[in-house]
Structure 1
């Protein structure tokens, strides 16, 4: 196991959603993805039940099929009022950033099926609650993010995406996912081009921090 020379803070602040810089040509060793999943399994889950399953898709035809579903979802998303490129359109500071995000979303939308490895963490549960589902998804999403961090430490890029869920049933059928198992995020995984990443622009902490109440 060889990891990049990153401090914990560097790892946490430079693990980015990578879209345009995913290397679509360089193969990703299966054992490297396995290492990342092994680390992800150390994440917390409700009552320590560990009802997670990880689908790793490398088959060319299946990746292409998932990529087509994702492309359709991206096309619909980019036409919606909530698309990244439309958010904060009147804000001179944030509009350029959101336009770049929209451009990168469109880029990955056309290429998702070409990414060497697609990873879908799933949660096995009998039913989805009608109300607040934070407790449920809290049993898989920390593990999914741990996977992204482990990948970053090994020189891999990932993107946190959920637009594929519009076609969750179709992808369930494609991959043979049981009825009691639900997909969470889709994590395209590849080596990245360029040297490294830097922290992203974020809101000042004083704008979002509330002490002892709102």
Structure 2
């Protein structure tokens, strides 16, 4: 397929400036389905375990469905933020870290109350044998077969002027969302990725722990 022109971003710039966008999602401007299809076409080039490509992608644009999913997500967010409030005290001795986490919490709450208004909700899914029962033990190969593709989708969206966010809180109500969308029993959801045009200026690399604090060469 022929892709539309993308933003003039170098590979490193694309990788380091693709952020989770919450407050800066444009809730009023429609996103063309053809643009979503382009991003998914890029995502399908991602690797998967033994090249099985066991993924499926549910794109939700219907206003009533988005609203119902949004209510479930809002409920999950409110529960998460209530439980996370005590965890936030762990950073009380680090004012800079505490301020960052407070801003993140505020943006999570903002999106939690508006998820149902986002023009496109993407749910990457995996087909799981055994009626959808997740296998015991190591699941890295299972989820590793969809997460790179979902990230590729987010990178492709960023390159086209769209904002996304990686969210999973709706999985508290995974069964309810599955019923809303008519998902087969063997299909499990991996994430919920809101997709919209983003407002404001571009994005910068985020503050991260120094590499030498997390790098281990040869042994721990």
Q: TM-score range by the shorter chain?
A: over 0.9
Structure 1 position 210 matched with structure 2 position 210: no
Structure 1 position 198 matched with structure 2 position 193: no
Counterpart of 2:60?
57
Secondary structure, in 3 states, of the residue corresponding to 1:136? Answer: helix
Structure 1 position 18 matched with structure 2 position 21: yes
Residue by residue, what CA displacement relative to the aligned partner does 1:73-103 show, whole Å, maximum 9, x if unpaired?
Answer: 0000001147775552321220100000000
State the TM-score, normalizing by the size of structure 1.
0.97
Secondary structure, in 3 states, of the residue corresponding to 1:190? Answer: strand
Secondary structure, in 3 states, of the residue corresponding to 1:213? Answer: coil
Residue by residue, what CA displacement relative to the aligned partner does 1:87-129 show, whole Å, maximum 9, x if unpaired?
Answer: 5232122010000000000000000000000000000011311
Native 8 Å contact 1:85 1:101 kept in 2:
no
Secondary structure, in 3 states, of the residue corresponding to 1:188? Answer: strand
Q: How much does 1:132 deviate?
A: 2.4
Secondary structure, in 3 states, of the residue corresponding to 1:67? Answer: helix
Structure 1 position 120 matched with structure 2 position 126: no
Residues 38-187 of structure 1: pairs in structure 2 closer than 5 A:
38-81=41-84, 85-86=88-89, 88-126=91-129, 127-187=133-193
Secondary structure, in 3 states, of the residue corresponding to 2:96? Answer: coil
Q: Relative to 1, partners in 2 of residues 1:44 and 1:83: Cα closer, same or farther, differing over 3 Å? A: farther
Secondary structure, in 3 states, of the residue corresponding to 1:44? Answer: coil
Secondary structure, in 3 states, of the residue corresponding to 2:35? Answer: helix
Cα distance in 1 for partners of 2:89, 2:153 equals 30
Residue by residue, what CA displacement relative to the aligned partner does 1:5-63 show, whole Å, maximum 9, x if unpaired?
Answer: 00000000000000000000011010000000000000000010001000000000000
Native 8 Å contact 1:161 1:185 kept in 2:
yes
Cα distance in 2 for partners of 1:142, 1:45 equals 8
Cα distance in 1 for partners of 2:88, 2:80 equals 10
Alignment gaps of 5+ in structure 1: none
Q: Relative to 1, partners in 2 of residues 1:83 and 1:130: Cα closer, same or farther, differing over 3 Å? A: farther
Native 8 Å contact 1:13 1:198 kept in 2:
yes
State the TM-score, normalizing by the size of structure 2.
0.95
Alignment gaps of 5+ in structure 2: none
Secondary structure, in 3 states, of the residue corresponding to 1:130? Answer: coil
Q: What is the root-mean-square deviation in Å for CA atoms of aligned residues?
A: 1.2
Residues 28-47 of structure 1: pairs in structure 2 closer than 5 A:
28-47=31-50
